[in-house]
Every structure is written in structure tokens, then in C-alpha cells.
Amino acid sequence: MILNDFEYHNTLERIAGFKGALAVLNAPDNELKKTDAMRWQLNVDGVQSLLEDFSEQVKEYESLQNHQPTQPLMLNCDDILHLPRILIKARIAAHLSPQELADRVGMTPGQIQEFEKQDYQTATFAEILQVFCALEVQLKQGEFLVGVEKIGPVHPEIRAFNYGF
């Protein structure tokens, strides 16, 4: 996920590089294509995959940047582990810098930048709530499915996740 203009411009440069790499790979005189078609295809697929991923990130960032802050924004989250990204997207769509958000919640810009870089894993629940409130993020028609019948040993993915508290 692109967090700021620096990352945005860096991502645009990478996209240009991937396009250049694809042009070289797809050139009619590409030696790898002639000598090892399978390896050539793996390279093409890998670069194409990165190009698509980075292009999606740029599209999302531009969409958030172009959002009119006078209009509400509906963001969806299909996995509670991605909930911190709602905070990042809300800040970007509100056209707030990390400094401006930090001022609103009484934190330092460095804290906000670190929280965002780590998807808020190092933030306490209280700090996360402060940011939700400062960004006016509300849950609308939210439903949580609690699979009480499935509760058992801790899932390895959850065990590996550092909640920060």
C-alpha cells in the first residue's frame, strides 16, 4: 500500500522500469525467449505480476488523493486483519499529512508514520481508537461473524501476527 507522495513517485518509477523490462523480454530478438522459453515465460509472468500489483496500488492511491474531502467515503474491509488500512486510506482521502493527523491525536508525526508503516501493529488499542475518532471513521451496517463453534487452538497465522499489546 502506498502511504505518501514519496512512495507514490517511487512506485511510478518502478512501473516504468517494469514496463521497460517487459519490452526487453518481449523484443523479437530476445535470446532467452529463443533458448529457454519456459524461463522466459517465468520472467515475463513475474514482471507482469509486479507491474499489475504496483499499478493497482497507484490506482488506489490516486483514487484516495482525488477524493473530495467534503464527501463521505465508504471503505470496505473483508478481513479484520486489514482494518488498520482503513485508517491509512482515511487519512489519505482526508488529505491529511501524518503531521496533521498527529496534531489531531496528540502524537508525533513519527509515531503516525511508524504506525502506518507497520499497519498499526505497534499501536495500542487506545491509540487506534484515537485515530479512528480523529478521522471520523464509523462502522456502518457492520456485521461480525463469530465462529464460536470453531474456536480451538490458536491459528498459526494469528500467533505470528504481532498485535502490539
pLDDT in tens, 52-77: 999 999 999 999 999 998 888 999 88
Average pLDDT value for residue range 121-126: 95
Within 26-154, where are the H helices? 31-35, 37-65, 83-93, 98-105, 109-117, 125-134
27 in the same domain as 94 = no
Say yes or no: 31 and 100 in one domain.
Answer: no
Asked if residue 73 belongs to a domain, the reply is: no
Shared-domain flag, residues 43 and 84 = no
Do both 101 and 144 map to the same domain? yes
Tell whether 165 is covered by a domain.
no
Q: Kindly state whether residues 27 and 53 are assigned to the same domain.
A: yes
Please name the residue that has the C-alpha cell 477524493.
Answer: 67
Residues 50 and 111 in one domain: no
Q: For residues 83 and 77, is the Cβ–Cβ distance under 8 A?
A: yes
**Average pLDDT of the chain to the nearest whole number:** 91
Question: Do 49 and 12 belong to one domain?
Answer: yes
What range defines the domain where residue 130 resides? 80-160
Examine the fold and report which residue of 14, 35, 65 is the final residue of a domain before the chain moves on: 65
Sign of CA dihedral 12, 16, 17, 18: positive
Q: Pick the last residue of a domain from 65, 94, 109.
A: 65
Domain match, 150 and 90 both: yes
95, 154: one domain = yes
156 band by pLDDT with thresholds 50, 70 and 90: low
Residues 6+ apart with CB under 8 A from 61: 2, 8, 11, 92
86 and 57 belong to one structural domain: no
Residue 45 lies in a domain: yes
How large is the average pLDDT for residues 145-162? 68
In a domain, 72, yes or no: no
Model pLDDT for residues 63-112, shown as the tens digit of each residue = 999 999 888 899 988 888 899 999 999 999 999 999 999 999 999 999 99
Q: Which pLDDT score is estimated for 79?
A: 85
Q: 118 CB contacts (<8 Å, ≥6 apart)?
A: 164
Residue 113 belongs to domain with CATH number? 1.10.260.40
Confidence at 165, pLDDT banded by 50, 70, 90: very low
In the chain, the number of structural domains is 2
